[in-house]
Amino acid sequence: MPKLRWPEWTIDPEQLRRLDLLEKVPLFAGLSRRQLGKLLVKLFEKGYEAGETIFLEGEPGKALFIVLDGRVSICRAGLGGEHRLATLAPGAYFGELALIDDQPRSATARADEPSALLILYKSHFDDLIEGHSTIAIRVMGNLLKALAGYVRAAQARSPSLSATLPPSGAAPE
Amino acid sequence: MTRERLPDIPKSAGRSGRVPFIPPPSSIIWAVGIAIMVLILYVSRELVLLLILSAGLAYLINPLVKMAESVAIKRGVAVTALFLGIGGSLIVTAYFFVPRLRAEVTALSSGSPSFTERLDEAIDAVQKEIMAEHPAARRLFPAREARYDRLNAFITQQTSNLPGLVGHLATIALGAVLIPFFAFFLLRDNQKIIQFLMDRLPAPHIETSVAVWCEIDRTIGRYLRGLAMDGLVIGAAAALGLWALGVNYPLLLGAFSGLANAVPYLGPILGGGMAMLIALIQFKGLGPLGNVLLLYLFIKVLDDVVIQAATIGRSVHLHPILLLASVTTGGHAFGLIGMILAVPAVTVLQEVSKLLLERRRYQAGTPAPHPGKGVHTQPYVC
């Protein structure tokens, strides 16, 4: 059966571009285009100037950010001042822990160049996963994979951290 | 001996001792700003009411627009198509239902003898039925003439506002045109308005602003859509039930019950009361009156336990006392519209206050409450 196609003049090219970008975001890997569309309408867009702070370490986190255009640095305050943890390009995301808990941000995010970000607010995300179990399972699975990656990276950087973490498979007390 | 402390003279005051102009604290500027805003809103309250009703309509339709947007259809195209579709459906519905509704209204208002006489006859019949069963109840009922006079005075008083209502027909007709008109543009340009605001918001406030906006949007959207769905189900259930009981004008009474249901607490009483009044006049007996009462009690229980829980209940988390207080205050301040809008307004205030208090707590450096035993509070990334 031929797939239904909307006439060209009814299609919003900007939405299509965003959909294409969302397909490449690892957090949303495995979601169908239709499911990504449901997610897309929940997003806000915000432009940032070069050097502008997106959020500060210690601030309450309420949203996930996806880089649409530009470049963003993630930094953390240390003994010798602020040091860069990562530089993110279009398709990358940050602030994902805000989707899980209400804890303060553990790093600062800053735009390196004029950037556009898509913002997914926690409450909108909660609404989405509440009504769509397939989306919930996929996104949560991807989120867990990302968190597992962070744990492994942290353990590799500091072997003493392994002693403070519960053994795999055991629930923390 | 205590030394009286002299007021400090600012360093910038200079030798002359003249105190330079000190700008008022920001709280005063805010208070003045809010007062001016309230004054402007009060002066243009009719336009504000139209805009509020238009926003309400836009909220009801917005999920359909979002569905179209999720498959990358242009917002303008989706909104235009939806308005054409809804307009067409309304015309078709009106073609089939308006003649029936008009016939019911005409039959109700132009019956002979007059409405008061028919009501008096019905009350008389019910009184006789009660007295036949319980003769001692005779002393509880007034004489027929006194009752008729009181009934007549009551109905005259209640219908004295009708000419005023007719005078407002032009405003109502204007509203019927302007509300969809405003709603169309609010829906079509909704994203542009949000984007305009987002671009002008300072970056440090963006997360809290988005959070506040999302809570307002979610609460109002869910409440209004829940209210519409609730009214639709209640209206349909009442119309069906009344039709099954053989009560006259089931469509009219169902529509009235569905609309009245938008007013918390008072609405179900009004809807049920109107249906019982019609049943009383029609059947002139206690039995059918009891059946209608049972029907409305059943609908009310169904509404509280099932329908509201699935519709409005998801958006409103107000304490019953606060709910009642907000409805009463809204009713006193802005009448019927105030009663309907009080609940979402107070819910929004509650949610926004929670968010702002949370932000203030973080700014004050108060640690967040522990998320639970065994949960690692130190996240690895942001």
pLDDT cut 70: percent of chain B above it: 81
Q: Cβ contacts (< 8 Å) between A104 and chain B: which residues?
A: 362, 368
Predicted pLDDT at B10: 47
Predicted pLDDT at B131: 81
- Would the pLDDT of B352 be above 90? no
Q: Cβ contacts (< 8 Å) between B382 and chain A: which residues?
A: 55, 57, 61, 74, 94-95, 97, 105-109
Contacts of B77 (CB under 8 A, 6+ apart): A9, A10, B68
- Would the pLDDT of B11 be above 50? no
Pairwise CB contact (< 8 Å): A97 & B73: no
Pairwise CB contact (< 8 Å): A16 & B72: yes
Candidates A12, A21, A100, A158, partner chain B, best to mutate (most B CBs within 10 A): A12
d(CA A136, CA A128): 8
ipTM reported for the complex, 2 dp: 0.79
Query: Highest mean pLDDT range out of A70-79, B157-166, B220-229, B335-344?
Result: A70-79
| φ and ψ at residue A19, rounded to 5 degrees | -60, -40
- Would the pLDDT of B293 be above 90? yes
Q: Which residues pair with B330 in a beta bridge?
A: none
- A93 in helix, strand or coil? strand
Query: In A25-69, which residue ranges form alpha helices assigned H by DSSP?
Result: 33-40
Question: Rounded mean pLDDT of A117-126?
Answer: 88
Q: What is the pLDDT of residues B58-95, one digit of tens each?
A: 988 999 999 999 988 999 999 999 999 999 998 998 88
Min Cα separation B62/chain A (Å): 11
d(CA B154, CA B140): 20
d(CA A117, CA A63): 11
- Would the pLDDT of B361 be above 80? no
Nearest residue of A to residue B67 by CA position?
A38
- A55 in helix, strand or coil? strand
Pairwise CB contact (< 8 Å): A106 & B381: yes
Q: Would you mind telling me the total number of residues written for chain A in this entry? A: 173
Residue ranges of domains in chain A: 44-95+103-133
Predicted pLDDT at A32: 92
- Would the pLDDT of B315 be above 80? no
Closest alpha carbon to B152 in B109, B108, B116: B116
Q: Cβ contacts (< 8 Å) between B214 and chain A: which residues?
A: 121, 123-124
Q: Which of these ranges, A25-34, B8-17, B122-131, B185-194, has the smallest mean pLDDT? A: B8-17
- Would the pLDDT of B375 be above 70? no
Pairwise CB contact (< 8 Å): A34 & B66: no
Max intra-chain CA distance, chain B: 100
- Would the pLDDT of B14 be above 70? no
Nearest residue of A to residue B381 by CA position?
A106
A70 pLDDT band, cuts 50/70/90, is: very high
Given this structure, which CATH class describes domain A44-95+103-133?
A: mainly beta
B164 pLDDT band, cuts 50/70/90, is: low
Nearest residue of B to residue A171 by CA position?
B374
- Burial zone of A22 (CB within 10 Å; 0-12 exposed, 13-18 middle, 19+ buried): buried
- A6 in helix, strand or coil? coil
Pairwise CB contact (< 8 Å): A103 & B359: no
B24 pLDDT band, cuts 50/70/90, is: low
Strands A108-111 and A53-55: antiparallel
For every residue of A115-163, DSSP letters joined together read EEEEEEEHHHHHHHHHH-HHHHHHHHHHHHHHHHHHHHHHHHH-THHHH
Q: Cβ contacts (< 8 Å) between B218 and chain A: which residues?
A: 123-124, 127
Q: Which residue has the higher pLDDT, A44 or B222?
A: A44
Mean pLDDT (chain B, rounded): 78
Predicted pLDDT at B5: 47
- Would the pLDDT of B1 be above 60? no
Q: Which residues of B touch A (CB under 8 A)?
A: 66, 69-75, 77, 194-195, 198-199, 201, 203-204, 206-208, 210-211, 214-215, 218, 358-359, 362, 368, 371, 373-382
Contacts of B181 (CB under 8 A, 6+ apart): B54
Closest Cβ–Cβ partner in A41, A105, A171 for B66: A41
- Burial zone of A109 (CB within 10 Å; 0-12 exposed, 13-18 middle, 19+ buried): buried
Per-residue CA distances from B323 to B224, B261, B265, B341 (Å): 16, 15, 10, 12
Pairwise CB contact (< 8 Å): B204 & A56: yes
- Cβ(A74)–Cβ(A86) under 8 Å? yes
Q: Cβ contacts (< 8 Å) between B75 and chain A: which residues?
A: 12
Question: Rounded mean pLDDT of A13-33?
Answer: 91
d(CA A109, CA B207): 13
Strands A53-55 and A81-88: unpaired
- B107 in helix, strand or coil? helix
Predicted pLDDT at B93: 86
Question: Rounded mean pLDDT of B198-215?
Answer: 81
Nearest residue of B to residue A49 by CA position?
B203
Q: Cβ contacts (< 8 Å) between B359 and chain A: which residues?
A: 60
Q: Cβ contacts (< 8 Å) between A59 and chain B: which residues?
A: 207, 362
Question: Rounded mean pLDDT of B351-368?
Answer: 69
Predicted pLDDT at A165: 53
Residue ranges of domains in chain B: 112-151, 189-362
Q: Cβ contacts (< 8 Å) between A53 and chain B: which residues?
A: 203-204
Pairwise CB contact (< 8 Å): A123 & B218: yes
Q: Cβ contacts (< 8 Å) between B222 and chain A: which residues?
A: none
Pairwise CB contact (< 8 Å): B376 & A105: no
Q: Cβ contacts (< 8 Å) between B206 and chain A: which residues?
A: 46, 54, 119
Nearest residue of A to residue B351 by CA position?
A123
Separation of CA B70 from chain center: 29
Q: What is the pLDDT of residues B120-130, one digit of tens each?
A: 888 888 888 88
- Residue A25: CB atoms within 10 A of its CB come to 20
Predicted pLDDT at B314: 62
pLDDT cut 90: percent of chain B above it: 20
Pairwise CB contact (< 8 Å): B210 & A63: yes
- Would the pLDDT of B183 be above 90? yes
Whole-structure pTM value: 0.71
d(CA B284, CA B129): 9
Pairwise CB contact (< 8 Å): A150 & B381: yes
- The two tokens of residue A29 are 């890997």
| φ and ψ at residue A69, rounded to 5 degrees | -140, 155
User: Which residue has tokens 């179990």?
Assistant: A133
Min Cα separation A63/chain B (Å): 7
- Cβ(B330)–Cβ(B341) under 8 Å? yes
d(CA B76, CA B82): 10
- Cβ(B278)–Cβ(B253) under 8 Å? yes
Closest alpha carbon to B79 in B97, B93, B61: B61
